[in-house]
Chains A and B, each alone.
Chain A
Amino acid sequence: MKQKIPYITLIIAGAALLFASCNKLTENPSSVIIADQFYKTQSDAVSAVNAAYSSLNSDPAGDFPLYGRQLNLLTENGSDNQIYSPSNTNPDVRALGTETYISANSRVQKVWQQLYYGINRANIAIDKIPAIQADTVVLNRLVREAKFLRGLLYFNLVRLYGAVPLILHDPTSIQLKDLQQPRTPVDSVYLQIVADLKDATSLPKTYSGSDKGRATSGAAHALLAKVYVTRQQWQPALTELNQVINGGYGYSLFTNYRDVFQKPTKNGVEHIFSAQFESNLGAANSVQNLSQSFSSFNPGTLPIDIPADQNLVKLFSTSDTRRAVTFYSEVYNAATGKTVVYSNAYTPYFNKFVDYSLTPLTTQSQSGINYPVIRYADILLLYAEVRNEIDGAPLTEAYNAIDQVRNRAQIGGLTKGLSQAAFRDSVFLERRKEFIQEGHRWFDLVRRGGTYLVDALHTLPAKSAASDKNKLYPIPLIELQQNPKLTQNPGY
């Protein structure tokens, strides 16, 4: 055996060396992209901006999307349009409907979080893209798209929560002390929003093919107009509205109101900017949850949202073409050949986002109906409102604008000779009817000022808890707990 010692030792030593030398501790992931490897090419720039867009229709943690569910919980359930559906199992959702939400409300937190998700992705795109070596025309466009999105998201934030931390860069540390920021005054937030949107007005007017749906200069002007209207800066608002209406964008109303909420007519003449959804058949899922206003042919199954009460449907005259588009109370079941009638204390149900092109119809999680963020009817009604404010009374231009919207709904022109206040009421009523489920109502009630929000909410007994504090949502509790620099909104 003597002779075996060197031989074996050699094998052993060799084996040990072999294993030791090839097992390195440095990570070089092959299945995930690392930040250092990215933001190098034009296609990286496109992906970075696409990520900011995707914050509109999907949640990183798999929760419901911002547009298509969460934002509506604050702006529709929190308004006089909705309370809650018995199918809402989450008490936080019910609290929003009954104006009893507190700062720990998970949905109030989620909306805040989702808005900042998008802002962070826009920030990264805005910071990283200029360093990329590629076609500067494309890169500049991408940065402006990111600025449009940042402007849109901050506009939502400042309206929902008031003064918010104005974050314009990706964090470089995970240390809490480095991350603690105070609230930025509302005026400063608006300055940034206006600056971003003004940059975005240099975006292309239109896109072709598979770029359709990206932010346009028209969308930037339209959003700027909404910002000025919200700030009651009527003159600059008028300038922007004129730009949208007369700037050669070709926007107009669909003849048929239903086409606003149809898959084949998405990104059409009336759509200025929409959160995009698609019947993706499980390819890559972003669920348009508002479509689950229809979920089953079983009349015992209640949908995700229901109208606050029967008065909502009664706002519409029977001739109003918007009524049948906004509500349904029966659905034809192709499988059985029978029409199922929904009749109970909660009917009629909401209809706008139900995708009737799906087979079977119960696959509403596949709804491909876009969520209109700004559409031309909004611009026309804002125009009517702004002219009424500037002119001191409703003149022809104001009437023309609102009547375009009313005529499309086949309810005829508005009574002539109204006072400024009466016309203003009419515009807000028209806005309510035109935009049910489109996330405008709470914003409209708040921006009108005074006691409009509380008065409107108090028309519903379930919302008797409403008070002035509901003009802003609370800063999420978790944000205050980690950050002594933040203050809470009054009343929470």
Chain B
Amino acid sequence: MEYYIHGKNLPIKFLRILLLVLAPVVAFGQNEPRPTINSRLEGTVLDSLTSQPVPGAVIRIKGTTNAATSDVNGRFQLVTGQSFPYTLAVSFIGYKTKELVAKGSPVTIKLIENVNQLNDVVVVGYGTQKRTDITGSVASVSKNLLKQPAASFDNLLQGSVSGVAVTQNSGQPGGSATIRIRGGNSISFGNAPLYVIDGFIIYNNNDNVNIGSNGPSVNALSTINPSDIESIEVLKDASATAIYGSRGANGVVIITTRRGKKGTNNVSFSTYAGQQRVSKKLDLLNGSQWASLINDVNVSDNVAKTYTDAQVAAFGNGSDWQSAAIRNAPQYNGELSVSGGDERSRYLISGNYFKQDGTLLNTGFERYSGRVNIERNINDKFTVSANIFSSRSKQNKLYGSGYNSINFNSAFANLINTSPIAPIYNANGGYNTANPFNATPTNPLQDIASTTNTSLLTRTLGNIAGEYKLLDELVLKVTVGADLLNTTQNYYAPSYTGSPAGSSNGYAAQGYASIGSGYANSWLNENTLTWSHTFNKDHFVTVLGGYTTQHEQAASSVASAQKFPNDLTTFNNLSYAGVANLPQSTGRSASLNSYLARVNYSYQHKYNVTLSERLDGSSKLGANHKWGSFPSVGLSWNVNKEAFLENNKTVNNLKLRLSAGQTGNSEVPAYSSLVTLAPTNYYFNSTLVTGIAPLQLANPDLKWETTTQYDAGFDLGLFNDRVNLVFDAYYKKTTDLLLNVPLPLYTGYASALENVGSVENKGIELGINTENIKSNSFSWKTNLVFAINRNKVLSLGPGVNSYFPLAPTGRQSPVIVKVGEPVGTFWGYKTNGLLTAADIANHVPVLTGVPQQVGDTKYVDTNGDGVVTTDDRHSLGSAQPKFTGSITNTFTLGHFDLSVYFTGSYGNKIFNLLQQTLERPTLSLNASATLLNRWSESNPNGTVARATNAPVPQITDRYVENGSYLRLKNLSFGYNFSSDLLAKVHAKQLRIYASAQNLATITKYTGLDPEVNFYDNDNTKQGIDYGSYPAVRTFLLGLNVTF
């Protein structure tokens, strides 16, 4: 039964479609000869868990073609020649097909949601595949996790899938996260996964949205409304990712957004609101304690004490700068969506507003977004679809050092460093700027409150696809899409602040404004042909071939000026400024052309083979290596389909998988293989002149990093899928690493970008889903995710055994990249308490170059040469966890549901740079409360080194802390109203819930939060904490209603 589009008879067509939608049974009757009616069956199809109506379900009398579809209220009517009793088969996507015997009318049919993932159709690269036929390692993020409130979808990935490690870099609303799938492959470039959003490929490069930015990195992924997402698939092994070739090495995250469902017209509204609270504050010295520290520093300097005992006592608690900047902050999300569809069209229109105030003053994140997804079967052969979203987000950030700047300077660290004896406010309630310990007459709290640091992002991502059946089994698909990302970053450091301003501060610059604007646009065209054929009923073959081409163009410019007559116009009008700074601008473009091919073969859905190959040509690589080839092979065996397991009561599913293949990474900046000349500046008699000199040497041989991956795994389903287990073991070796190879410095170049060295990652992953208790009224499900990854640097090229990544000017690098150690290994001195008088008398080895006396840190002479030098530094552990895991328990009792979600990381270390700074006594900055236990003449049992004036901040094991944690990431409790009640308000579904995020964290880490990455996505500097934005606890109340 088909309805063609006859242009001429529109009213009739319209009527027919209407009839089809509203009354399928009636429509049915119109085309059939009038049958004999022997029974009339009415019924309702409901979800077994929620008791919500299931519209669009097909109710078929078994063995006949006679069928009906449930309407928006889940109701259906079957008029048939058959007499009761007869067997009904009821099916709907996402539910298990149910068979039941109808003995009379009416019936209530409860469908059970299909939790057995193993029978689903899953989204894979360039298509979908039956899960039974899959050979690769593909994991789906559970629906339960996707329902969690989140500012950005990368937050949802944490603990969702085994082998995906997510670290929220800071608590900054809208801030970025570091995501690694099966460990980091690259040392210098690109470790983030590739995102495929409704078929459009995005390599998320936050550089595109950080234009002369100040403070932590802006997260370009936060432009996407997470509640638009229907499903997330994570492709992990080479069999799954090799089809993405040169961009597949770090894994692929495939995101499919929600679409309308056939036979429905839903209006949904969901909202949540709540409050965030800072989960932890640092323990700092109060006024008296700080004054007495200053006196101790004076003692070490052999000068008179600054404060008398009476003065010390009088300071009392002093100022609590930290608390003054912290507030409880609201969070709100609201969205409205209209979705539905008929036999030929599906649509979804949604709008979202999200607002999260920051727990630190003058920070927050706000987003408006809208989406239209539409799909239409124009006829039997031709389907068109469009997925388009647009969003506008605004982030107010904590200012700090520039994004990716090695020389840190964080507003929060400045604040907590401020002397507690300086009053925060003056007598008339204004900010006190007369702080004798501040270099400028400014106030760090005022700096945070009055500095503008705003990022405005506008993103439109649209992908249009046409699918045409050239022949019955041959489908041509053409997609054209574009991702348009525009950024404006406004910054203003008023003349009364110490906020950073170019090379000085707002006070010195007399007001400093900067406006950065830029765009990053990418278009993608993909053309694929898919041919599916079954030979002799047993041999299933699908062949995919295609050509794709993607082009990326980005440009940005920054204008800044200073010396404003007043602070009224802030960044809005640079022409008021007395001094215009040299403007900067840049632009770049890159192209990627690819050929791809894949063959899936299955024998009886029992033995499956996948072969894939992609040829990628990238403009960014050397003239001699533009093109690379990325093949893979995957095998799987559904053992449960063999005779010996077919009727096994225990094992209902067992699949063995094996795969091997190569993927690449080429996330180098454009023009990396060419001799580019950079401008430099000089002055002749005060006149600025430009010098131009080469920045790098040519490397026409620059090519991909290649990751070769082997994977073996099995999927196991027990007790009729009540227990599902997925296990994988993998080995990855990345060769031809893109490394900045040090050159002899006398060449005039520090390094050249070359393909040398290798890194390995190996690990095991386990995912377990169980339905522990299952009854009509009560159910308990558990989802457990567990992963181990071991990362090791195998080689750094000839003659290089290790190197220290760039350290902030005047500091030592706490990390090393060294052959045999994981990337991100902390490197420093081992300590053994403090030097005692006996140690000095016995001439124990002491650190060279620095006077050492009783009460100073005792460094360990690890190489036994009698002195402590930089040669005695050694590995202090790494930022890479020994294992990560999460466990979710979901309970349903009648209309109530409860979800408890723990996530954790074990064995990773954090370098607590903030604590190192806070334990370094100076004559002007506040310090950590741990210094209360410092050694002194009067406290000879103190365990912290004696107070001296600004000692060298050595990298020691004291600051390399255990970063393991177990966190109650989410606790949510909900209630689903019964359908009877809802019918009265004409609603289909109504759920209210309360949820708490980050409710509790068990950790030995002494810093603010064990989830921290001050240096963002820099792979060599993971796990460093330098006063990042504090983490929060969030309490939310929410409501979802569908009409």
Contacts and interface: CB of A to CB of B under 8 A. Distances in A.
Interface of A: 1, 4-5, 8-9, 12, 15-16, 19-20, 23-27, 29-36, 38, 44, 46-54, 56-58, 60-64, 86-91, 93-95, 98, 100-102, 104, 109, 112-113, 116-117, 119-121, 123-124, 164-165, 167, 170-171, 174, 176, 179-181, 207, 209-214, 266-267, 276-278, 280-287, 295-298, 300-302, 335, 344-345, 360, 362-363, 365-366, 368, 462, 465, 476, 478-479, 481-483
Interface string B496-520: 0000011110011100100000000
A144 B440 CA distance: 46
Given A91-B850, A282-B581, A170 B810 contact: no
A168 to B, nearest CB: 11
A162 to B, nearest CB: 14
A57 B682 contact: yes
Contacts of B850: 91, 94, 98
Given A25-B591, A29-B671, A31-B587, A284 B746 contact: no
Contacts of B279: none
B691 interface: yes
Given A63-B809, A282-B579, A366-B504, A91 B478 contact: no
Interface string B960-974: 000000000000000
B302 A345 contact: yes
B439 A281 contact: no
Nearest 5 CB-CB pairs, A to B? Answer: A120-B748, A51-B691, A282-B502, A50-B691, A51-B693
Contact of B686 (A113, A165, A278, A285): A278
A31 B555 CA distance: 9
B684 A20 contact: no
Given A27-B670, A51-B680, 10 more contacts: A26-B619, A29-B671, A34-B671, A35-B675, A49-B691, A121-B748, A282-B501, A286-B682, A300-B923, A482-B744
A235 to B, nearest CB: 33
B313 interface: no
A212 B684 contact: yes
B681 A54 contact: yes
Contacts of A300: 436-437, 922-924
Interface residues of B, number: 116
Contact of B581 (A38, A53, A58, A281): A281
Contacts of A34: 671, 674-677
Q: Which of A31, A213, A296, A297 has the most CB of B within 10 A?
A: A31
A270 to B, nearest CB: 15
Given A19-B549, A20-B547, A117-B748, A25 B301 contact: no
Q: Which of A20, A63, A181 has the most CB of B within 10 A?
A: A20
A89 B691 contact: no
B480 to A, nearest CB: 7
A116 B950 contact: no
A58 B688 CA distance: 13
Contacts of B579: 281-283
Contacts of B799: 176, 481-482
A20 B549 contact: yes
A38 B677 contact: yes
B745 interface: yes
Contacts of A1: 4, 379-382
B619 A19 contact: no
B694 A174 contact: no
B742 A25 contact: no
Contacts of B689: 46, 50, 210
Contact of B849 (A44, A100, A212): A100
Interface stretch (B166-174, B602-610, B749-757): B749-757
Given A15-B478, A266-B686, A301-B439, A25 B593 contact: yes
10 contacts: A12-B478, A23-B593, A25-B617, A32-B671, A48-B691, A60-B750, A121-B748, A362-B507, A476-B745, A482-B742
Contact of B560 (A56, A60, A282, A360): A282
Interface in B759-806: 798-801, 806
A286 to B, nearest CB: 7
Contacts of B742: 478, 482
Nearest to B847: A91
B549 A276 contact: no
A116 B743 CA distance: 12
A206 to B, nearest CB: 12
Contacts of A15: 478, 480, 525
B685 A102 contact: no
A277 B683 contact: yes
B626 interface: yes
A12 B468 contact: yes
Given A16-B547, A33-B676, A214-B684, A479 B503 contact: no
Interface in B545-575: 547, 549-551, 555, 560, 562-563
A48 B746 contact: no
B581 A283 contact: yes
Contacts of A35: 674-677, 694, 698
B748 A213 contact: no
A238 B352 CA distance: 83
Contacts of A104: 870
Interface string B533-551: 0000000000000010111
B77 interface: no
Contacts of A12: 466, 468, 476, 478, 527
Nearest to A28: B589
A170 B1035 CA distance: 63
B600 to A, nearest CB: 24
A100 B562 contact: no
A157 to B, nearest CB: 9
Given A53-B682, A124-B693, A365-B504, A179 B924 contact: no
Interface string B626-658: 100000000000000000000000000000000
A465 B407 CA distance: 32
Interface in B924-972: 924, 949-950, 952-954
A297 B440 CA distance: 8
Given A34-B675, A94-B849, A298 B746 contact: no
B811 A90 contact: yes
B809 to A, nearest CB: 6
A301 B922 CA distance: 9
Nearest to B949: A86
Contacts of B439: 295-298, 301, 362
Contacts of A479: 744-746
A50 B382 contact: no
B749 A171 contact: yes
Interface in B694-744: 694-695, 697-699, 741-744
Contacts of A362: 439-440, 507-508
Nearest to A33: B677
Nearest to A358: B508
Q: Which of A4, A30, A300, A335 has the most CB of B within 10 A?
A: A300
B586 A91 contact: no
Contacts of A478: 742, 745
A370 B890 CA distance: 71
Contacts of A482: 742-744, 799-800
A31 B748 contact: no
Contacts of A297: 439
A165 B748 CA distance: 12
B65 interface: no
Nearest to A29: B671
A286 B684 contact: no
Nearest to A91: B952
A276 B743 contact: no
B684 A210 contact: yes
B684 A27 contact: no
Q: Which of A25, A49, A52 has the most CB of B within 10 A?
A: A25
Contacts of A116: 745-748
A187 B747 CA distance: 21
A8 B381 CA distance: 11
Nearest to A119: B748
